[in-house]
Chains A and B, each alone.
Chain A
Amino acid sequence: MKNYRLHIGNKIVKFFALLLLSTFCSFTEHRQKHQANEYNLKAAFIYNFTRYIEWKASADENEFIIGVIGASPINNPLAEIVKTETVDNKKITIKQFNKAADINFCHILFISQKSSIPLDDILAQTAGKSILIISEQDGYAEQGTAFNFVVVNQKLKFEANVKAINAAGLTASSQLLKLAIIIK
């Protein structure tokens, strides 16, 4: 019993330590590597989401746009994926947004931890548009982003807000939702 509690405590400590570390940007070499790994995964997840999400088709589109808010380590791995992969035979482009007002149409909007724009502003800006909003901060899914990356048991998982997905007029495959932590 004692051991178990210790274990859990250990994990929580580790998790918070990780959060703290990332928040304060105090990277050691090891941490940098770990972070690079984490963002590689996140980039891959984002790309894989496209296979399980259905956007309303618009004929004149000839590119698939991924928007990123805030300067994030995800840019590099995303850029790597974009080089080789396509979505529905469409080229993928990455757009960087720095202000809420800048946000125009994109298929996926990734809100980095480093985003300084308040979430409400982003949500207000994107409301009613078919934009899949992905975040990586605790509690963001509850607040209205479609997916939110979390780390559970040292594994990357994602929360899904089905209401938010539906509100954006998107359809998420049940297979995808099965893997997600559903937020109501």
Chain B
Amino acid sequence: MSGFKNLSIKNKLIIIQTATAFIVALVCCIFFVFNDIRTFKDAGKRKIFSLARIVGENAVPTLVFFDQDAATQILSKLNKEPDITEAVVLDKNGKLFARYAREPAANNTVVDKKEKTAASGTEELTASYKLYQENEFLGTVSLYARLNDLDKIVAGYIKVAALVLLTAIIASLIISLFLQRSIVFRLLRLVTKTKEVTKTGNYSLRVAGSGSDEIGMLAGSFNTMLEQIEKMDKFLKRTNEALKDYSTSLERTNRELEEFAYISSHDMKSPITSLIGMLTLIQQKEAIKPEHKHLFNLAVNSVRQMQKTINALNEIIAFRKTLKIERQKIDLDEALEEVKLRIHDQIVSSPAIIKADFSACPYVNYPAVHLKSIFQNLLTNAIKYKQEGKPALIDFKTTPEENFVVLEVRDNGMGIDMERFKDKLFGLFQRFHTHTEGTGIGLHMIHSIVESYGGKIYIDSEVDRGTTFKIYLDNAPLQ
């Protein structure tokens, strides 16, 4: 049945029509054949009973006058009836009086015939007629017949039925060919048009539809749909165009801004360095009056702070230029060890206890510089924002998830008030703790890296309890 489902409508229609015609013709043929066979049999039965009666009435005088020869002669006239195989006249005592057999046979055929009749059923017919004269029983006439023509008639019917069925099939095929013009041909045209539209993307095409039947309506709706799509397509193209322009202008502005930031931070670097040098010289020369020492120190601090900010800015700008570099297969344990060495002093003085379990997923395909940068920023953040009087406990763990390696980092630090800072977590120079030193670029950098490779960061944190970072590192295969 699924084979039928996938056939084209043209073939389906042809099959349905042909099958219907075939079944109708077949049912009619079967009905007529059976009806005619029954009629033929009934007629045969009637004929044989009539013959038995006629023969019987004619045989009455022969029985009355015991004239077996005459009776035999009467029976022998049955030889013009090819169906009758045997005829007998029995006298009133049931004794054989006269007999006729189409094929000469033994004397006891009568008995045999009866058995045969009982055995083979329908085709053998027996007709018995009891003979009376003025209520006096004289004897019985029995005719045995076989409907020889039945086979021929059935064969003839089968031939006719085959002819009828063939005609029905041919007629239905011709009719379905005509139908195709009005249904299938138009549907096929519609299908061709849809394919053309799909292939070329040309929504200005229209189906030359006609007629108010379902196919005509379909063609009409298809055209309306195409019109709407065409409008929408044009609108989208226009909007897209505008968006592209906007995007390019944004990119340009962005680049200019970056350039500006770079230039300004770069250009500010040397004046500030020289300013710090001057201030140091001033201090060495002890040119400041002791009562103004306090003011001078404030100025030095401000300049130092400024230098830090400028340096951070330079760092970020330098980092941005390094994004989108090649990935490589990294052993997470090795990478972490290297980072720990880099910030060994901070770890020792904090102190921080670092645990790592990368057994579930020991490798990741990632740019080494950026992965180490992520590790370093996470570690320094955790150490910087640890709770007072407690050692920092930092747990690293990885799990694979689809195309990602999920790096989970849990600390017992002071935490972030998620309610307040939810929207500002990854902003540049955003700081959530004012009492500690920090430039506010750590999370921003992690976020920039992870996002630039198609990953994500989830932060779960509670004030005074600690923070958990879930970082989805895109683990795309190496090229």
Contact residues of A with B, CB < 8 Å? 41, 45, 48, 51-52, 155-158, 173, 175-176, 178-179
Contacts and interface: CB of A to CB of B under 8 A. Distances in A.
B373 interface: no
Nearest to A86: B134
Nearest to A177: B61
A158 B65 CA distance: 9
Interface of B: 58, 60-62, 64-67, 70, 133-134
A175 B133 CA distance: 14
A179 B65 contact: yes
A41 B64 CA distance: 10
Given A175-B58, A175-B61, 9 more contacts: A48-B65, A52-B61, A155-B67, A157-B67, A158-B65, A178-B61, A179-B65, A179-B67, A179-B70
A48 B58 CA distance: 15
Contact of A41 (B58, B60, B66, B70): B66
A48 B67 CA distance: 13
Given A175-B61, A179-B61, A179-B62, A51 B134 contact: yes
B168 to A, nearest CB: 56
B133 A51 contact: yes
A175 B67 contact: no
Contacts of B60: 175
Q: Which of B60, B67, B134 has the most CB of A within 10 A?
A: B67
15 contacts: A41-B66, A48-B64, A51-B64, A52-B61, A155-B66, A155-B67, A156-B66, A173-B61, A175-B60, A176-B61, A178-B61, A179-B62, A179-B65, A179-B67, A179-B70
Nearest to B64: A48
Contacts of A158: 65
Contacts of B70: 178-179
A22 B58 CA distance: 35
Nearest to B61: A175
Contacts of A48: 64-65
Contacts of B67: 155, 157, 179
Contacts of B64: 48, 51
Contacts of A179: 61-62, 65, 67, 70
5 pairs of A and B residues whose beta carbons are closest in the complex: A175-B61, A48-B64, A179-B67, A179-B70, A179-B65
Nearest to B71: A179
A52 to B, nearest CB: 7
A183 to B, nearest CB: 17
Nearest to B62: A179
Nearest to A52: B61
Contacts of A51: 64, 133-134
A16 to B, nearest CB: 23
Contacts of A156: 66
A149 to B, nearest CB: 11
Nearest to A157: B67
A181 to B, nearest CB: 11
A89 to B, nearest CB: 10
A88 to B, nearest CB: 10
A176 B61 CA distance: 6
A178 B57 CA distance: 13
B197 to A, nearest CB: 97
B141 to A, nearest CB: 15
Interface centre among B61, B62, B67 (most CB of A within 10 A): B61
Contacts of B58: 175
A121 to B, nearest CB: 30
A51 B64 CA distance: 10
